[in-house]
Amino acid sequence: MSRSLLRSVLELRTPMTRLPPSFLLPIRSRALTTTTQHVDPSIPPTNTPTQTSIPPRAPSPPTPNTLSRPQHQTPPAPPSAAAAATAPSTAQFLPLLRAQPNHYITILIHGRPYLVTEGDQIRLPFLMHGVLPGDVLRLTRASVLGSRDYTLRGAPLVDERLFECRATVTGVESEPLRVKVKTKRRNRRSQRVASKHRYTILRVSELKVLGPAA
């Protein structure tokens, strides 16, 4: 009884730790999280319906040619029409994406996606051969690159010249020994099969979004 009273007093004293009631929360949060590339390819990219009033427009539509070229040359971009449609919007929104502080990326290692940000630790579901702890890996395949307000979705891959992502091998982890008892019918013999897999640990040490100059 007294403890709950004390707690309520403490919570009243530090109101910042609690979220305000829901009607006070910013109603624009959904609009902030809309991605830039939800633009339908049929809609011309000059018309930007996903832009709300919150994010500023691009200060100057910078050099669409230099930016659209790498996006267009992405090897696995099958529909050329879609690539052409997304390329100008990439050129328009990439500076805005770069200007934002924190980025996330969905990197593909052996075709499997890992959504990470800088400083994250990944335990790969396999033992990576040929690497030692301390090795720096450069990750070159990504399907999504984004920040709080903008998302660059690859079709199906983000151009590897647009980002720079490095990961450090920090070690190898192993699971607890698993013992599976295998039996055959009508037979008293039982076989114990042990397995103890090892997994490589990576830490994402660097994630940079590159501009047209870099």
Partner 1 sequence: MSFFRIQLQRSAIGLPKRTRGVLMALGLRKRSQTVFHPVEAQFAGMILKVKELVSVQEVDRALDSKELRAERSPEPGFFIEKAVPR
Interface ranges with partner 1 (CB under 8 A): 107-111, 130-141, 166-167
Q: Which is nearer to partner 1, 112 or 198 (CB)?
A: 112
5 Cβ contact partners less than 8 Å away, ≥ 6 residues apart: none
Nearer to partner 1 (CB atom), residue 94 or residue 158:
158
* Nearer to partner 1 among residue 69 and residue 166 (C-beta): 166
Residue 140 CB, nearest approach to partner 1 (Å): 6
CB of 65 to partner 1, least distance (A): 28
CB of 166 to partner 1, least distance (A): 7
Nearer to partner 1, 62 or 104 (CB): 104
Edge-to-edge strands of the sheet including 112-117? Answer: 112-117, 104-109, 142-146, 151-153
Give the C-alpha separation, 40 to 88, whole Å.
13
Minimum CB distance to partner 1, residue 123 (Å): 15
For residue 172, which phi and psi values (nearest 5 degrees)? Answer: -125, 135
Closer of 91 and 167 to partner 1 (Cβ): 167
Provide the minimum distance between the beta carbon of 131 and partner 1 in the complex, in angstroms, as a whole number. 6
Cα gap 148→150, rounded to integer Å? 6
Which residue do the tokens 């039982």 mark? 190
Shortest gap between Cβ of 160 and partner 1 (angstroms)? 9
Q: What is d(CA 64, CA 87) in angstroms, rounded to the nearest whole number?
A: 8
Q: Where are the alpha helices (DSSP H) in 44-102?
A: 64-72, 80-99
For the chain, the C-alpha Rg in angstroms (whole number) is 24
Q: CA angle at residue 139 from 55 to 162, to 5 degrees?
A: 35
Residue with Cβ nearer partner 1 (115 or 179): 115
b/e burial code for range 139-165 (CB count within 10 A of at least 16 → b): bebbbbbbbebbbbbbbebbbbbbbeb
